[in-house]
Amino acid sequence: MNSRRILLLGSAVLLALCACDWDLWGIATRPTVEDRVKESLSGSLTTPGPVAVNPASFSFAVFGDPQIGRDYRSRLDRFRQEVAGRDIDFFCVLGDLTDDATPDEVDSIKLQLERVGVPYYATIGNHDLYQGDGWERFKENYGPSCYRVVIADRIKLIFLDTADGTLGPTQFDWFESELQDSAYTRIVCTHFPVYDGEKPMMWRLASGAERVKVQSMLVRYGAFAWCAGHIHGWRHMQVDSVNHFTCGAMAQQLDYGEPGYLLFTFAHDSLSWQFVELDRQ
């Protein structure tokens, strides 16, 4: 067994002492990010298509971590009210849809997302791989883990698979090719942030070399934003003209951070944003 598998298995055993319902062997032997990305880009999975919106004026929400657990609760019912009240056209979920990726959790979050009542896009988080069949269940419900969608010929959303805390060479090559298209405002949607702010290293992309490469590419090609979850709270920083957001969380129980979402609005040929905090009730 290679060192990566040993590290993953050791970490899983340690954290299992917290009574997590994880498939320890499945975590150690699951497909790597290279495996998932190659399958996602192979054309064998159905890629979500563009949402129909008014090209002159539309809005969409971005948030992470519904993290449906054993009580099957989240803030998505509250978010559904926001969608109706603010005329949100669609939303993006930045991974950790479930807590332990058990079949019941997977079914519950799928139903709750559909009940919001507008189209949505999803990408994968580390918690969504806490069962041996986590990747199989994710792609069955949501399709590829990395893909891109162009909205109203205005905005390109680039969804990345950072569920292992890394991108890998295949995804980097594809990512750069998508960033080069300057005809659109480009927004990256993924689970792990590049910058961790106040939190320690485990809360950002694991490789320093990858973080430097990501930021360099975002600046070189003029990307508008990197949107991440994982941290559960709201943060914004601008680094060399690139916006870095951690977008709030929809989990019912938050040990830190603010429940809420990042709202983008396109109007008058410009893109604006605001963080909308939800109550803690």
Q: What is the pLDDT of residues 39-74, one digit of tens each?
A: 999 999 999 999 999 999 999 999 999 988 888 888
User: Using 50, 70 and 90 to split pLDDT, how confident is the model at 14?
Assistant: very low
Q: Could you tell me if 74 and 6 lie in one domain?
A: no
Based on the fold, state whether residues 205 and 245 are members of the same structural domain. yes
The residue-averaged pLDDT of 204-228 equals 95
Whether residue 135 sits in one domain with residue 7: no
Determine the average pLDDT of the residues in 24-32: 72
pLDDT at 18: 47
Q: Is 245 a residue whose pLDDT tops 60?
A: yes
Give residue 59's pLDDT.
98
Q: pTM here?
A: 0.90
Q: Which residue in the block uniquely carries the two structure tokens 């005809």?
A: 183
Same domain, 88 and 98: yes
Q: How confident is the model at residue 201 (pLDDT cuts 50, 70, 90)?
A: low
- The torsion angles phi and psi of 126, rounded to 5 degrees, stand at -60, -35
> For 229, how many CA atoms within 13 A lie in the half-sphere containing its CB?
34
Measured distance CA(165)–CA(210) in Å, rounded: 10
CATH number of the domain that 253 lies in? Answer: 3.60.21.10
- Domain encompassing residue 12: 1-30
pLDDT at residue 276 is higher than 60: yes
Residues 210 and 269 in one domain: yes
pLDDT at 7 over 50: no
Which range has the worst mean pLDDT, 11-15, 129-133, 272-276? 11-15
Residues in CB range of 57: below 8 A, 6 or more apart: 265, 266, 267, 268
- pLDDT tier, 227 (very low <50, low <70, confident <90, very high otherwise): very high
**Position 101: which residue type?**
A
- 12 shares a domain with 60: no
- Does residue 54 share a domain with residue 5? no
**pLDDT band, residue 99 (cuts 50/70/90):** very high
Are 113 and 64 in a shared domain? yes
Q: How many CB atoms lie within 10 A of CB 215?
A: 18
Whether residues 25 and 97 fall in one domain: no
pLDDT of residue 252: 78
Q: Is the pLDDT of residue 8 over 70?
A: no
* 243 and 174 share one domain: yes
Per-residue DSSP letters for the chain? Answer: --HHHHHHHHHHHHHHTTT----HHHHHHSPPHHHHHHHHTTT-SPPP-PPP--TTEEEEEEEB---B-TT--BSHHHHHHHHHHHT--EEEEES--BSS--HHHHHHHHHHHHHT-S-EEEE--GGGGSSTTHHHHHHHHH--SSEEEEETTTEEEEE---TTS---HHHHHHHHHHHT-TTSEEEEE-SS-S--TTS-GGGS-S-HHHHHHHHHHHHHTT--EEEE-SS-SEEEEEETTEEEEEE-B-BS--SSS-BEEEEEEEETTEEEEEEEEPP--
Do residue 24 and residue 76 come from a single domain?
no
Same domain, 25 and 39: no
Contact 161, 124 (CB under 8 A): yes
- 16-20, 73-77, 177-181: segment of lowest average pLDDT: 16-20
Count of domains in the chain?
A: 2
Q: What mean pLDDT comes out for the span 219-231?
A: 96
Beta bridge partners of 98: 68
Residue 25 reports pLDDT greater than 80: no
